[in-house]
Structure 1
Amino acid sequence: MLNIAIIPGTSRPQALNPQIVSWVDAQLAGRDDIRAEVVDFGEFDLPLLDEVVPAGAKMYQNAHTKAWGAKLDEFDAFIFVTPEYNHSISGSLKNALDFVATEFNHKVAGIVNYGADKGVRAAEHLRHILANYKVAVVRDQASFSIFTDVTDGAFTPTEVSAAPFASMVDDLVAWGGALKGVREGSEAVTV
């Protein structure tokens, strides 16, 4: 059983993000090889980064950082649902990622992105950030256009846009199982 965190990519009020997060959650509900949970960084009351020691040392001083890191530690894989803001990810997602580091090491992620140009630049920036955390990001991603996959403010994904999601999840499961072995092997070496 692979534990997947679905991470909303913005804290902006009245964003389209909750609709797409709900769609992702519903798509995963029918699978018996995963357990998925929406993990919203907004619920951890993270201020602008306020840790004194860089995250890689995992010497967190603040309760909000400890809680955020402990929650991420529970998961083997992540699906980021990110909008594109100014050709990148949202500032709130970047800030949430900056609080932690090792909680992502040797895990796998998939990306669901959206925007005027399907959010592809946000996905590319997120791939670079996740690479720094030693996250394997699977190739397939679901990319949605606010012009063709949204109707009157409601998320209505086209079949073409939604199609890559299934193969993305299949790859998450395959890579997630393999990377569990990598994490267990690295724990044995450090003990």
Structure 2
Amino acid sequence: MLKIAIIAGTNRPNALNPQVVDWVAQQLAARGGIEAEIVRFDDFDLPVLDEPIPAGAHMYQNDHTKAWGAKLAEFDGYIFVTPEYNHSVPGGLKNALDYVSLEFNHKVAGIVNYGADKGVRAAEHLRLILANSRVAVVRDQTSFSIFTDFTDGQFAPQEVSVQPFASMIDDMVLWGEALVGAREKRAAMTDA
């Protein structure tokens, strides 16, 4: 059973994000075979990046970084639920991702994005950020429009928007299971 973190992509007050995050959690619970947990970076009180050494060195100095990294290390994969702010990912999400790197190595991710243009630019930027941490981001993503998938501020996704979610999860399971073996091989190479 894969352990998947559902990463809430913003901590903005009154954001639509919690509704989409909850929908993702409900979809995963109905599927079975996946253990999912909602993870919010704001629960870790991460200030603007304050680590003196780049994340790739894995030499964290601050307790908040160590706690954030330890939480992320628990998972086999991640679903990022991100809005699009100013044609990119929210600053808080980018800051949280800048803190860590190795915890993501050789794991799988899916993206659920939303915005005026369905949040596609945020998703594309997120793919580039995650590639630097050796994350295998699956091709299919789930994209929602704030104009057609929300009604009076309430998440009410259209069927056409929901359809890619199932294939995204199928690919995540396939890649996630394969990457467990890849991480084991990588660990054996490092120990040798």
Q: CA deviation at 1:32?
A: 2.4
SS in 2 for 1:60: coil
Do residues 144 (structure 1) and 147 (structure 2) align?
A: no
Aligned Cα root-mean-square deviation (Å): 0.5
The corresponding residue for 1:115 is: 115
| Structure 1 residue identity aligned to 2:163 | A
CA distance in 2, matches of 1:127, 1:8: 16
The corresponding residue for 1:131 is: 131
Kindly report which structure 2 residues correspond to 1:1-191, keeping only aligned pairs within 5 A, or say none: 1-191=1-191
SS in 2 for 1:39: strand
Q: CA deviation at 1:122?
A: 0.3
SS in 1 for 2:96: helix
Q: CA deviation at 1:47?
A: 0.3
CA distance in 1, matches of 2:32, 2:151: 32
User: What is the number of residues matched between the two proteins?
Assistant: 191
CA distance in 2, matches of 1:189, 1:31: 35
Relative to the length of structure 1, the TM-score reads: 0.99
Q: CA deviation at 1:30?
A: 1.6
| Structure 2 residue identity aligned to 1:137 | V
Q: Could you list the per-position Cα deviations for residues 122-145 of structure 1 after superposition, in whole angstroms to 9, with x for gaps in the alignment?
A: 000000000000000000110000
Q: CA deviation at 1:31?
A: 2.4
Q: CA deviation at 1:55?
A: 0.3
Give the gaps of 5 or more residues in structure 2.
none
Q: CA deviation at 1:14?
A: 0.6
Relative to the length of structure 2, the TM-score reads: 0.99
| Structure 1 residue identity aligned to 2:124 | E
Q: CA deviation at 1:169?
A: 0.5
CA distance in 2, matches of 1:85, 1:189: 41
SS in 1 for 2:66: helix
SS in 2 for 1:110: strand
Give the gaps of 5 or more residues in structure 1.
none
CA distance in 2, matches of 1:105, 1:124: 19
